[in-house]
A and B are shown apart, each in its own frame.
Chain A
């Protein structure tokens, strides 16, 4: 049987604007992926624990509050610490262009800012998930 790609959509920090996260979650589901949404106000520790427990292939982080430079790399660091850095980490939200290369250096594979069609995110995830026999 085909393994469906599993994605954890997460809102790190206190930022509560989750329209983008919810729209993406719906879009990924419509594209045939299994999506788990963490809900609001998750610490990086909680996100990483949920990702490992749910055995996801990808974590999508969403932030609009400006806390991304502190919280996104922390998720990557914790994944590494737990030996789970084969999980693909991507991000989205209100993120200035000049921050994107720094986040990529820190291990966030890609940042999708507003205006990105959902299909672009879907294609990226399909092309970059590293784990097992995924479709």
Chain B
């Protein structure tokens, strides 16, 4: 028997054992012509050694074919639509609507003041309250946001970075009020500050204290919130800022290396925190390139964790990721075309083996999604899952000459970048020097030029245009919200125990000046309704604020 045959049998035996506990969705998977769909397709002949080294079996190193043995034959990916706008009440309503419509996880968008650590009544928040996400200034807002949503039943992702510790503390506190202990909470905070310096801009503090807050969260959650994904290392925004697919993976993994190194330097054993690292990628239109990108990213990360960081737990080797379809690929022109783009992108994410997925809404190049377009976006995922049959076998494109060649090529080019960034002194230095920013900006400008010259076609924009575009219905955020939130905050400040708030903020300040883990102090402050802005201002007073050089 060949080595491949042997390993295939060993793998099958292992999988059968697992399935006896958690069965697959169906006993038998068939196509519409009643052709049986196998769990997995492997080469029958050919270069077996190459197969074993480069691909392996799903759920096994190097995870090219996926991180779980049966992938979506067991359970579909989590359908996690990013939502949030206006007040906590309005967003709570949208959350419940999406759950009713069959969404399987929550994902919270916060407004910019919240993301940059300003209360709704701060002068810096002017014009921005509730615009791109929900406004959360205190635990009171957070309680409203999750009213009637049992935190032990649903997992929640929160796109929050600089003040991630504060919002996570609020989530833990809401759990406490619901009687859900922290060890039963599951979800993700983005908590990826390096990508903020590179591409997205919602940073507050300089890199060093930011990295401390992040490792504090790793350490705290490993103890107290073990099912929480403590970081979602994000290529999404790097791609949206204009990077190529290769740069997206390369810069994200370089940032990930920096986080792992920082945590190890802070004294945490790698296998203690690495299994809770997660990733966040983008899915753009170039279908096969996107699929290959996800497969390559998994293989590279497995090698990095196993050989560079000497992790021993296979869970530390696995790259788990959320995907969002590409916001910047959507057009304001002929917005219904975006539904088709999103379908292609979502399909690429599924064929690439994503763990959870957000599909963008057709009107996002114009405004926040209306309820109707949010529903169509969710339905897109449901149709891929329940109707298309693409989830019935594991890694269906594995073995395609084209896909494997692309996967190899992307991997090779990503390693080149990672080595270059290592040579510069690592991700933090590369970012401080503006290296990643310049590479991305150059790629963005090239794309713009290619579109303007017609070399790159954007349907409805530089080809197949309409003379008269009908205007779609758009979602509008209440322009009075800033004032309403400010009044609420004034009321909160007059009703809470301000002496206690000051005391706890003072303790936080002392802790920030020292070496303690800041999470318990932040949680203490949040519990007595200290606000997002107050807590972040204490940290600003100790850490200072980051001011980037302009490139």
Residues of A within 8 A of B (CB): 13-19, 22-23, 26-27, 37, 39-41, 43, 65-67, 69-71, 94, 96-98, 113-115, 117-119
In the complex, are the beta carbons of B444 and A15 less than 8 A apart? no
B492 within 8 A of A: no
Q: Which of A23, A98, A113 is within 8 Å of B444, CB to CB?
A: A23
Of A14, A43, A67, A119, chain B has the most CB atoms within 10 Å of the CB of: A14
How many whole Å from A79's CB to the nearest CB in chain B?
A: 18
Nearest B residue (CB) for A119: B452
In the complex, are the beta carbons of A65 and B445 less than 8 A apart? no
B269 within 8 A of A: no
In the complex, are the beta carbons of B448 and A118 less than 8 A apart? yes
In the complex, are the beta carbons of A115 and B461 less than 8 A apart? yes
How many whole Å from B151's CB to the nearest CB in chain A?
A: 29
In the complex, are the beta carbons of A94 and B240 less than 8 A apart? no
Q: Which of B123-131, B136-144, B309-317 contacts A (4 or more CB under 8 A)?
A: B123-131
Q: Which of A67, A96, A97, A118 is within 8 Å of B128, CB to CB?
A: A67
B477 within 8 A of A: yes
- What CA separation (Å) do A19 and B112 show in the bound complex? 17
- Chain B neighbourhood of A117, CB < 8 A: 452
- Chain B neighbourhood of A40, CB < 8 A: 201, 548
- Chain A neighbourhood of B200, CB < 8 A: 16-17
Residues of B within 8 A of A (CB): 112-113, 115-116, 118, 124-128, 131-132, 200-202, 240-242, 328, 331-333, 365-368, 441, 444-445, 448, 452, 458, 461-462, 471, 474, 477, 479, 548, 550
In the complex, are the beta carbons of B124 and A118 less than 8 A apart? no
- Chain A neighbourhood of B550, CB < 8 A: 37, 39
Nearest A residue (CB) for B328: A19
Q: Which of B112, B118, B331, B474 is within 8 Å of A65, CB to CB?
A: B112
In the complex, are the beta carbons of A94 and B366 less than 8 A apart? yes
How many whole Å from B482's CB to the nearest CB in chain A?
A: 9
Closest 10 CB pairs of A and B: A16-B201, A70-B127, A67-B127, A14-B112, A66-B131, A115-B461, A40-B201, A117-B452, A23-B448, A14-B128
- Chain A neighbourhood of B118, CB < 8 A: 14
- What CA separation (Å) do A40 and B131 show in the bound complex? 17
How many whole Å from A72's CB to the nearest CB in chain B?
A: 10
Nearest A residue (CB) for B448: A23
- Chain B neighbourhood of A13, CB < 8 A: 112, 126-128
User: Do most interface residues of chain B lie in helix, strand or loop, or is the interface mixed?
Assistant: loop
CB within 8 Å for A16 and B332 given contacts A65-B112, A70-B126, A115-B461: no
- Chain B neighbourhood of A19, CB < 8 A: 240-242, 328, 444
- Chain A neighbourhood of B474, CB < 8 A: 96
How many whole Å from A18's CB to the nearest CB in chain B?
A: 7
Q: List 18 A-B contacts (CB under 8 A).
A: A13-B126, A14-B112, A14-B115, A16-B200, A22-B441, A22-B444, A23-B444, A23-B448, A39-B550, A65-B112, A65-B132, A66-B368, A71-B127, A114-B331, A114-B365, A115-B331, A115-B332, A115-B333
Q: Which of A27, A37, A39 is within 8 Å of B448, CB to CB?
A: A27
CB within 8 Å for A96 and B328 given contacts A14-B113, A65-B132: no
In the complex, are the beta carbons of B112 and A16 less than 8 A apart? yes
Of B441, B448, B550, chain A has the most CB atoms within 10 Å of the CB of: B448
Task: A70-B479, A115-B332 given; name 10 further pairs at CB < 8 Å.
Answer: A13-B112, A14-B113, A14-B118, A18-B241, A19-B241, A27-B445, A43-B124, A65-B128, A66-B132, A71-B126
In the complex, are the beta carbons of A97 and B471 less than 8 A apart? yes
- What CA separation (Å) do A25 and B266 show in the bound complex? 41
In the complex, are the beta carbons of A98 and B471 less than 8 A apart? yes
In the complex, are the beta carbons of B131 and A65 less than 8 A apart? yes
- Chain B neighbourhood of A97, CB < 8 A: 471
- What CA separation (Å) do A71 and B550 show in the bound complex? 23
In the complex, are the beta carbons of A66 and B477 less than 8 A apart? yes
How many whole Å from B159's CB to the nearest CB in chain A?
A: 13
Of A19, A27, A69, chain B has the most CB atoms within 10 Å of the CB of: A19
Nearest B residue (CB) for A98: B471
How many whole Å from A109's CB to the nearest CB in chain B?
A: 20
In the complex, are the beta carbons of A115 and B452 less than 8 A apart? no
Nearest B residue (CB) for A37: B550
- Chain B neighbourhood of A67, CB < 8 A: 126-128, 131
- What CA separation (Å) do A96 and B477 show in the bound complex? 13
- What CA separation (Å) do A66 and B112 show in the bound complex? 11
- Chain A neighbourhood of B471, CB < 8 A: 96-98
- Chain B neighbourhood of A41, CB < 8 A: 116, 124, 201
- What CA separation (Å) do A94 and B365 show in the bound complex? 6
- What CA separation (Å) do A43 and B81 show in the bound complex? 32
- Chain B neighbourhood of A37, CB < 8 A: 550
In the complex, are the beta carbons of A15 and B328 less than 8 A apart? no
- Chain B neighbourhood of A71, CB < 8 A: 126-127
- What CA separation (Å) do A43 and B332 show in the bound complex? 27
- Chain B neighbourhood of A69, CB < 8 A: 127, 479
In the complex, are the beta carbons of B131 and A114 less than 8 A apart? no
- Chain B neighbourhood of A113, CB < 8 A: 332
- Chain A neighbourhood of B112, CB < 8 A: 13-16, 65
How many whole Å from A112's CB to the nearest CB in chain B?
A: 12
- What CA separation (Å) do A65 and B131 show in the bound complex? 6
How many whole Å from B498's CB to the nearest CB in chain A?
A: 27
Q: Which of B126, B367, B452, B458 is within 8 Å of A118, CB to CB?
A: B452
CB within 8 Å for A14 and B331 given contacts A66-B477, A96-B474: no
- Chain B neighbourhood of A39, CB < 8 A: 548, 550
Nearest A residue (CB) for B441: A22
How many whole Å from A10's CB to the nearest CB in chain B?
A: 12
- What CA separation (Å) do A96 and B364 show in the bound complex? 11
- What CA separation (Å) do A46 and B424 show in the bound complex? 35
In the complex, are the beta carbons of A14 and B124 less than 8 A apart? yes
CB within 8 Å for A23 and B477 given contacts A15-B112, A16-B200, A114-B331: no
In the complex, are the beta carbons of A114 and B332 less than 8 A apart? yes
In the complex, are the beta carbons of B126 and A26 less than 8 A apart? no
- Chain A neighbourhood of B452, CB < 8 A: 117-119
- What CA separation (Å) do A70 and B47 show in the bound complex? 63
Of B113, B115, B367, B462, chain A has the most CB atoms within 10 Å of the CB of: B367
In the complex, are the beta carbons of B461 and A23 less than 8 A apart? no
